Structure 1
């Protein structure tokens, strides 16, 4: 009889803070069911091994593996070694859209693929421990550094060997995930990931998922804890925030490129989520103080 403790996901599995970076370094409990969250999950296996059932494929990570997958798809840690220790984080979409990954890789991740790389080194567990400390420090500068350093580490994956799962035929179901609702929500997430920058509504989504619009809204809300509109808005606003942080485009151009039909709708939604206007958000991000080391040397306009 398996005496290991289990984690019981909440009914909807969605975390309460989808826009905040959350880091962890722990020996996780196995899950009794799949869960969901509106962030990209980063896993680094410090010791042991972990087995996940994803929406359509399975993945086994071993010590030294670095993995990345979209938490908006159902996933389930269903088996692991007794000595498993893993580090990682739940990366908000705004930061995922900032990543300079190959476009096809980013798209495949949003559609349910899992990226795995064994090209890691002894610095990785040390880094994850520091990022965890920084995000829990209460110091905004340290929290921002943790985000920036994690993004740079993820971007380095493109220069090393990695694989995207599944490499073979996808499994028919996820071996115990809800065989009725999971495929529907996966189809909905796939369609929204491909089209959130366009003008879409519940009817478009339902047609893509081959179900009735009311059923699409009911199933999605039940499984993710979010309405379709809330989920689409989260995708659009996260994408817009990423553009505001890195581009010189006007606020109007950012609004249109992110899928909002008007500047007024963009401003209203943006303020509701972030508590400030898009222009104020851009100014705040760009006014954050740099961290100067000694000796300080300016390289490409940045202090190193």
Structure 2
């Protein structure tokens, strides 16, 4: 592994970035910036390595992706792109859970990803670099039909992973999936995720969520926990924390205002939830990031396309 370059410009979350918009599906095709520290966001991340290599520190394991690799991991757990080749180019997307649980993937695969595993497959071909570039171009075109086609095609590409060998890391055993897509639980999880994505900054609870999903509260809690490994409250808090993370980067905000704007009912609840994910208080996080070098606008412009 090559040493990181001291002169590098580092990635920082922005208010309109993936962290601050946890309910949106975003596509990208970029030369990414190495991170100074872990971050998190409430979407499943899709990485296709077009060129070079990338090294991530995940929750509980480390992994290197090389050119031609296709990977998925749950961004809700802190992860850190801590080193990469100078020529790294990657493509992919950030999938809110409402999209992820619409995928016809085996429920066991989905559960492992939500628990922190990294899915990695080498079963790609020469069409993938072309397709990922086109999907990103369509998403950035301003044409709603093109954007919709790009998303649909990428989601179908992800579903195709189940038919080829892949590994769920940190276990290195390569598998071929025979599991079944859970046609009963998944629509409920999708309705739950839709409601939370639209209302996470409001004062909502499990009863509100269950009513919106048209199921009994106990069933809503059980099916969501089984599918994601999280309680409903865990996921609502994660959406709020992802939003708050980007808010804390702004110079004109204070921690109490961020807590209220993100949907937390009190500063103490915000501090407790933030420390659980970040390992530090919101004040310490803001103090640390403000001491880091800021990105130039040219460096930041290379990354995301938003799909509404």
Q: What TM-score results when the alignment is normalised by the length of structure 1?
A: 0.57
Correspondence for 2:196: none
Q: Report the Cα distance in structure 2 between the residues aligned to 1:68 and 1:20, rounded to whole angstroms.
A: 17
Query: How far has the Cα of 1:138 moved from its partner?
Result: 2.0
Correspondence for 1:281: none
Give the alignment partner of residue 155 of structure 1, picking from 154, 159, 164. 159
Q: Deviations over 1:86-137 (max 9, x none)?
A: 1111112111011111111000111111000000011111111111112112
SS at the partner of 1:60? strand
SS at the partner of 1:4? coil
Contact 2:18–2:94 (Cα < 8 Å) also in 1: no
Unmatched tracts of structure 2, length 5 or more: 173-223, 238-266, 279-308
Unmatched tracts of structure 1, length 5 or more: 169-188, 203-213, 226-304
Q: How does 1:165-204 map to 2 (within 5 A)?
A: 165-167=169-171, 193-194=228-229, 196=231
Q: How does 1:104-123 map to 2 (within 5 A)?
A: 104-123=108-127
Query: How far has the Cα of 1:144 moved from its partner?
Result: 1.5
Correspondence for 2:77: 73
Contact 2:18–2:26 (Cα < 8 Å) also in 1: no
Task: Pick the structure with greater CA Rg.
Answer: 1
Q: Deviations over 1:58-98 (max 9, x none)?
A: 11100000000011110100011111111111112111011
Q: Report the Cα distance in structure 2 between the residues aligned to 1:142 and 1:86, rounded to whole angstroms.
A: 21
Q: Report the Cα distance in structure 2 between the residues aligned to 1:190 and 1:4, rounded to whole angstroms.
A: 41
Correspondence for 1:219: 272
- 1:100 partnered with 2:100: no
Query: How far has the Cα of 1:222 moved from its partner?
Result: 5.5
Q: Report the Cα distance in structure 2 between the residues aligned to 1:201 and 1:31, rounded to whole angstroms.
A: 26
Which is worse superposed, 24-33 or 215-224?
215-224
**Higher relative contact order at CA 8 Å, sep ≥6: structure 1 or structure 2?**
2
Q: Deviations over 1:240-273 (max 9, x none)?
A: xxxxxxxxxxxxxxxxxxxxxxxxxxxxxxxxxx
Query: How far has the Cα of 1:141 moved from its partner?
Result: 1.7
SS at the partner of 1:120? coil
Q: Report the Cα distance in structure 2 between the residues aligned to 1:80 and 1:99, rounded to whole angstroms.
A: 30
Distance 1:25 1:195, change over 3 A: closer
Q: What TM-score results when the alignment is normalised by the length of structure 2?
A: 0.56
